[in-house]
Structures are given as structure tokens and as C-alpha cells.
Chain A
Amino acid sequence: MIKRSFIGLTKPMLKYEALDVRTPEPTIIQEPKKVSLFLDKTYGFKDSILLKIGDTVKTGQKLSLSENSEAYVISTVTGKISSIETLTGDYGKTFTSVSIDVDDHEEIDDQFKTLAAEPTLDSANNFLSGVPGKPSFKIFSDPEKPINTIIVNGIDRDLLVATNQYIVKSEIDAIKNGIRILKEITGIDNILIAVPQNLTQDAIGGGAQVTTVDSEYPATLPAMMMQSILGQILPAGQSCEDMGVCFLTAEAVASIGTAFEAGRIPSTKTVTFVNKDGVKSLVSAKIGTPVRSILNAFGVTLNEKDRLILGGPMTGATLYSEDFPVLADTDAIIVQDRNNIPFVSDYPCINCGECVRACPANVPVNMLVRFLEAGQYEEAADQYDLYSCIECGLCSYVCVSKMPVFHYIKLAKYELGRTTSPEATNA
């Protein structure tokens, strides 16, 4: 954890992880006995469920829940479905978890292979939205919001994480293929690859225009990159897709490249693992591998009241169980010892202004948080620029009162979203 420096006059300096000159070798995690795959949607009572417990699935097989739902997941192993359950995540998000008992004997489904020879947006949309990096293809076929620029993110969005930098260093050929295929299937020629200064040489091999990104947090958040790379300011409350810009991680692009090249859907995710003592290592694991297997591979014992984080230290999410699997967009797993966990407090804002100075979006956080605490979300959005927030978490990081400012902001956005479109949360 980076503490406040002795000279507190300046803003906090949080540098992104810079990869060594030597490419690190990722630790390969053995295929576990059981994997869990997550679908972004729950099944309704009326849906006819296509999957049932006891079904055998092959590696690379597409599993959809029902015929009238587009949600699917690609099995990363061969085995028998042992359970199907519904889970609730943060902010009312719901998932269906499909657990598969792994067979020793692996069989590969070749449905995709026949399509791979001639890449199309449809086949990508139908088979590749669950590959490592979790690219979204739906946005390319939305006629209302045409995409004109794709930015391949070769630097990770959060601190400590080096996953996408590693991909740029080690799989630049796959990225090159991916970029070529993306150009072909989407018809978008304006593809940029954004990397930190130290990876510029490596990124040239990607066959796209290379831009460098500042290595200080939060320079790699989409809204910041829009400003620094494209010179466009993201209007409050809009997403980058609304502006015609699509962000894909380097890993997603590499996966697309590998998939069409090899005719096989990639299933191995690269994850940055940060141990209790802060030692970082790269891990290569199948999507669906429980976090427990990774912890075991590093000999980590979790104690009561430790913290397990999926994602980076500023924007990640905590887990309540070691059985939670590695997902397609899990870039990092961080273990925090119970003695190193900073807690939030119920102290009020003392108006010290640290957050106002730290905020990259100039949000008047000191006033905003007073309204959010009182639950006055509409006033907060109207007068104090709630929707300008780019969700970097720096305000909570510097808060002298240790207020959960970021949490308040996310909650307010969620609650406002619920009141404006009640059906949107289930969509």
C-alpha cells in the first residue's frame, strides 16, 4: 500500500506497474477438478433451460441458458455439469453460475473451427464474447451509436496489475492478428494501441498506430484516455461508446487473433497475483478456475478477516469466498492480510479539500459527499456534478476522515439509474 508522502503539499503520485525488461514467466495453474463459469444473466421461470445437471460438455462448446436469451458461455474444460445456480453480485447484478466437474480426458468441440476460416462479426459475437479480456462485439452492430475508433489498451486500468502489459510484450503477434481481423470484421480502420512509455518498442509490432499513455494513475481510465489520446472531452454521464470510441484490452485483441488463427477458442487467462506481502507474480489459469487453486499454488493460507480482491486496489471488487472463479475479465487477484486492511469510518467530512485536489475530473467532492450522505442524489447530480465522476477511487484513497466516498458515488449512480429506468437493471 502506498502511503502519503512526507511532503503532503503535492497530489498523491500513484504510478502504474512497469514491467521488467525481461518478460516474466507466468506460473501455470493446473487444471482444477471443478470449474465454474458465469453467465451474465439469470434464468427466468418461463425460460426453457437448455442445460441440465449431468450434461456432458466439451472444451470450447457454447453453453446457452435458453433459446430466447443471447447470453452464453464457452466451456473451458471437458466434463459434466454438476450444478447451476443463481448468484447476485454488486449493485443488483445477477449471474448464473454453471459448475462443471472436469474429466481427465479432454475433447474439443469443433463448431467454431468451421467458422474460423472466414472471420465475421457474427461468429465473433456468437463465440468470442467470453474469451480472456471479455471483448464486447455487440457495440459494433448498434446502428444508433456507430463506433469509429478502437483503442487497444496495452496498459492496465488499475495499479499493481501488469496483465495487459505482459500480453503486449509476449503476444504481440496475436495482437497483430487480432487488429487485422478487427479491421476486417468491423470495417473500422482507426485502431490505436495505447501502451506505457517502456513498451513503445514492443507495441510497434502490433501493426497499428502506437500512442503512449502517462504512467500515473488515473491516466488509463477511459475518460482520461479519451482526453489525452483523442483530445475529446467525455460529456458528463455519457460513455465512450456514445462518442464512437471503443476500448478493448490487449488481451481481448490477442484472444481474437489467436481464436481465428488457430480455430480454437482461447480459454487461458493471464492474471496478476499479488500476495499478502505485496510480491507480484503472473499466473496463467483456465477461465473458471476457483481462486482457491491459485492460492494453493502459491501456498497462501487465508485467515478469518483477510481480504480477497478481484481486480486492482483502486477499482476492484472483494470476494466472500475462495470458490469464486477466475472470470474472463479478471486481470488481478490481490490478497490483503487482515492487519493491512484500512477501514472506513463514519466520521463526517471535515472539508480539508484533499479529495477536491486529487480529483482528476474537478468534481467538488467535499460538497457532493454531503448530499450523498443525506441520500439527496438528484441534487448531487444537478448541482455537484455526480455524473462527471470517472470512478477512479482517489477521493476515498486520500480522505482524511476515511469516508467511503467512492462507495457513496457508486451507490448514488446506481440508485438514480434504478429510478430512471426500473427495467434497465434486469436487462
Chain B
Amino acid sequence: MLNQKKLIVSHAPFWHDGSSIRVRSYHIMLAALPAALFGIFTYGMPALGVVSLSISFAIIWELLINKVTRRTISIGDGNAALIGLLFAMLLPATSPWWLVATGTLVAVVIGKHIYGGIGGNPFNPVLIGVAILMVAWKDFFDFNEALVNYDLGFAMVYPLAAAKHLGTSGIEAFSTAGLLLGQHSGGIGATFGLGLILGGIYLIIRGFIRWEISVSFLAGVFVTALFFHISDPSQYASPVFHLLTGYTLMGAFFLATEDSSSPVNFIPMLIYGAGAGVMAVLIRNIGAYVDGVVFAILLMNLINPICDKIRPKSLGKVV
């Protein structure tokens, strides 16, 4: 018996479908890449600098917090890199290095690790980072001011700011096709509508994000914006404009769908997505902020645990 071969013993099942957090993270990054690359080509080296710095810093912060809290090193799962990439895509190309460093620190440490790391975060880490920066240094998120030195051959005014301050007359220069092809200013990876939509569809088909959240978010934005537009077409922009500007598409496909902070049951997913969409347009049209996506999703993150209690009855459960 002593010389016996040691076999692996473990509990059933003995199969696994081969999915992993790493595969998931890298595919989401892959889907975000077209939009990010478009931003880099549009805004040049400063944008490349912001993206690289953001990804590197996110990984470094994750590594440091792993060391400090004496946990296993978790940078290999790609989640930190994903946070870095998505964070950079929301920033203007001219963001200074310290803004990127602080933002990723907040995102990785306060957004994720103080809750116990991946899976424990009640809010989307990227949005926590962006929200704190937006409140602390709001001038850096004024895209008109940040991108003042750029002339890319299209109207360089930030569409949402124009719509808010000037009404529909301020946004006549933007065509739907132009918005889809990224001919408007905004965050590095948030302007190329077509790229974001294709990335989102890829993620939905591969099952890496839940389509219910994306679709209901977009529906929420569309319907709310439509009501505003009907009530006063001269003041409130059209629903399509709201869908394609600001962080709407980023929010629908990459931010609202973050696993840990979003529901998993069917009806709660619809409530969560639609709620975030409605809130986003409400903040845009009657709130203080130019773009409401960040706060709208954070707000819906808050109701996620209660919302997710609406679930189908389990098999044979009497109560």
C-alpha cells in the first residue's frame, strides 16, 4: 500500500466548461479595444499615455494591496487591467498623470479591495474612481476645457454640454452617423459609438455580459429621452442623441454590466438596467451634471441587493 500511486481525489463534477475569470476579463478588454484604439488614433500620444498609465497603475495598485493585505497575488486574473482600461476610456485625453494615478488608486483600492477583492464590491470600481475624481476635480472632466487645444475637423464642443446649455439649437452640427463614427469630443474610448456597439454585441453573444442589463439600460435612456424630447423639442435633445453621446454606450455595455454590482435574475436585471437608464437621462436633462451615467449606475448599484431578491420560486419550495 505504501508504494501506491497517488490519484487525484475530489468531489464531483469532474468536468468544467473551461470558463475562467481571466478569459472573461480579457474578452471584455478585447471588446473594448476597438473604441480605445479609435480614441488613441484620434487624440494621439496623450491618449496612449493615459491608457497605458491607467492600466499599469491599476495593476500596480492591485499588486501593492495584495502585498499589504497578504493575500494571494490576483493581478493574473486580468480584472485590474480591465479596471485600468475602462477607467482610461472615460477620461479626457489630456488628463495629467496624477489624476490617472489617483483615480485608479480609488478604483482598485476603495472601489474593490476594501470590500474583500473581486466579487465583493457593491459598486462598480471604475465608476467609484471616476465619481470621486469628478467631484474632487470637476474642471478636468469639463471636456470643452480639457480638449481646448484639439482641432480634429469636427465640432469640438462637448455634445452633452452644448445640449444642456444651448438646447437643441446647440447640437445641430452633430449627425447620427457622425456620432456613431466618433466625430465628437468626449472620453478617450467613449466616443466611437460603432466600436462600442460592436464590442457590446460581441460580449452579449459570447455570454460575457448579460444582455438584459444592456438592452434595458438603452431602452431606459431612449424612452426617457423621448418623453423629454416630445415635451419640449427645442430644449431637450432627441433620444438617439442621448444614446450615442457621453458615457451611454460605455455604461450600457461595459459599466452597468459589471458582475458583482449588478443583479443576476431576469426581472431585477430589467429593473436595474432601466432604472439606471432613466436616472441617467434625468440627471442629464434636469440635474446639475452634464452626464448622468456615472451617478445613475452607482445609484442603481445601491439597490442591486434588494432588487435581486425578486427571483423565481425554487423547485418544491412551499413558502
Contact = CB atoms under 8 A, between A and B. Distances in A.
14 contacts: A9-B204, A223-B315, A236-B318, A304-B6, A313-B12, A319-B7, A320-B7, A342-B18, A344-B10, A350-B118, A362-B315, A364-B314, A388-B315, A404-B11
A393 B11 CA distance: 10
A363 interface: yes
Interface in A1-34: 1-4, 6-10, 12
A305 B315 contact: no
A341 B11 CA distance: 12
Contacts of B315: 223, 233-234, 236, 360-363, 388, 390
A385 interface: yes
Given A7-B205, A303-B5, A353-B210, A342 B15 contact: yes
Given A349-B119, A362-B313, A388-B317, A338 B16 contact: no
Contacts of A321: 4, 7
Interface stretch (A122-130, A168-176, A194-202, A395-403): A395-403
Interface of B: 4-21, 24, 72, 77, 116-120, 204-208, 210-211, 259-260, 262, 264-265, 308, 311-318
Contacts of B116: 348
A276 B14 CA distance: 13
Contact of B314 (A308, A344, A385, A394): A385
B7 A318 contact: yes
A314 B119 contact: no
Contacts of A399: 16, 19
Interface of A: 1-4, 6-10, 12, 159, 223, 233-238, 302-309, 311, 313-322, 334, 336, 338, 341-342, 344, 346-354, 356-357, 360-364, 366-367, 385, 387-388, 390, 393-394, 396-402, 404, 406-407, 410
B316 to A, nearest CB: 4
For the complex of A and B, list the 5 residue pairs with the smallest distance between their C-beta atoms, beginning with the closest. A8-B207, A353-B264, A342-B16, A361-B315, A388-B314
A379 to B, nearest CB: 14
B24 A305 contact: no
Contacts of B16: 1, 342, 396-397, 399, 402
Contacts, number: 185
A17 to B, nearest CB: 14
Contacts of B12: 311, 313-317, 393, 396, 406-407
Contacts of A348: 116-120
A349 B119 CA distance: 6
A348 B7 CA distance: 27
Contact of A351 (B117, B264, B314, B318): B264
A93 to B, nearest CB: 14
Contact of B14 (A4, A313, A352, A400): A313
Nearest to A302: B5
